[in-house]
Amino acid sequence: MLYVEALRSILEQSGFLGLTGGHFVMLAVALVLLYLAIGKGFEPLLLVPIAFGCLLVNLPLSGIMDEGGFLRYVFYGAEHEIYPVIIFMGIGALTDFGPLMANPITFLLGAAAQLGVFVALFLAMVMGFSVREAASIAIIGGADGPTSIYLTMKMAPQILGAVAVAAYSYMSLVPLIQPPVIRLLTTKADRGIRMDQLRPVSKTEKVLFPIVCTMAAGLILPASVPLVGVLMFGNLLRECGVTERLSGAAQNEILNATTIFLGLSVGATMDATSFLTIGTLKIILLGLVAFVFSTGGGVLFGQLMKKLSGGKINPMIGAAGVSAVPMAARVVQRMCQREFPSNFLLMHAMGPNVAGVIGTAVAAGTMLTLLTH
């Protein structure tokens, strides 16, 4: 009899009795995300922590996200925008801005590829989201996960889970989403255009670029400093030539540890109660719209630059203006090589690709400036 009572007590305190239909759905979502990350290789460094965070927070009665719980403490860094900014430092340390400096006009392609951000902003407001929520959803079009999280935590933290999952999912699906859009907006002759070799970029230029860029962004748009400034700080560590150890740490240990904590934090927001809503489905749909229009905006502006340059610019590189570095640039290269094996566009596509990182951060800073003051 004593054993029966003990067994009943354990059962009453187990998570089984707390399971709801919503928990089952979210546990299934976590398993699907793990499959996509591990089985299909879709952004595993991000999706594995996000998916496992989702799994942890949807196990009933664990208290892991309650006050004093482990994930509640981990979430502090996301809640106070610490993790996204640190990740930008790592991205800066990993990024070579040389192709952009060698062909500065491609900066315009990075700006044009923000079209989806503003299209999604308008559509989100039409669909009933507040302007602050709409801004958080719209930034998905920049294909920059850390920026999406940073802006959402400041503007609409209640939708962080849906925005983060949409942003990182579409980033991982760049090779599937972009090619049909590129083919729709270009001809085979367009895709075969050969571009002139980029000029060499001096070390002095590479050292001055992050300094000048930080000062310009800070003076013109102060709200962009946390993202643009720390991005450029990471890049200065890479390029100055006297901080190899710091650059290596920013690229590896610091970036990797922060990615783990950010992913777990995002997954922790995906509890069944807040995630399983009609609003989540709308956000995922709007994220796709934003991504498609951003890709299209870059390609269409590439078509304009092709005409203005007398056919010297391949319009495909405009698709790389979204800030999914270097995936978007590789998509352009692979598409070109399938039809024209001897044509190499990767370095040309990297110009708008890294410009897109800056462009998305500036777009986020603009929204913060306009909507919080």
Which pLDDT value is given to residue 7? Answer: 61
Residue 240 lies in a domain: yes
d(CA 149, CA 85): 10
Domain count, the chain: 1
Residue 46 lies in a domain: no
Which pLDDT value is given to residue 6? Answer: 59
Which amino acid, residue 78?
A: A
d(CA 53, CA 230): 27
d(CA 83, CA 341): 41
Which pLDDT value is given to residue 190? Answer: 94
Residue 5 lies in a domain: no
Residue 61 lies in a domain: no
Q: Which two tokens stand for residue 8?
A: 């009943």
Domain that holds residue 192: 80-250+273-372
Residue 154 lies in a domain: yes
Which pLDDT value is given to residue 175? Answer: 85
Residue 111 lies in a domain: yes
Residue 21 lies in a domain: no
- Torsion 20-21-26-29 (CA) sign: positive
Which pLDDT value is given to residue 3? Answer: 63
Which amino acid, residue 255?
A: L
d(CA 124, CA 159): 13
Backbone phi and psi for residue 20, each to the nearest 5 degrees, phi listed first: -120, 175
**Is residue 69 classed exposed, middle or buried when 0-12, 13-18 and 19+ CB atoms within 10 A define those classes?**
middle
Which pLDDT value is given to residue 316? Answer: 95
Entry pTM: 0.88
What are the mean pLDDT values of the chain's consecutive 10-residue runs (373 residues total)? 61 69 92 91 86 93 89 91 94 94 92 93 95 94 88 91 84 86 95 92 96 95 94 97 97 96 90 87 92 95 95 94 87 92 92 92 91 75
Residue 286 lies in a domain: yes
DSSP string, 91-135: HHHH---HHHHHSGGGHHHHHHTTHHHHHHHHHHHHTT--HHHHH
Over the stretch 295-327, which tens digit does the pLDDT of each residue have? 999 999 999 999 999 999 999 999 999 988 888
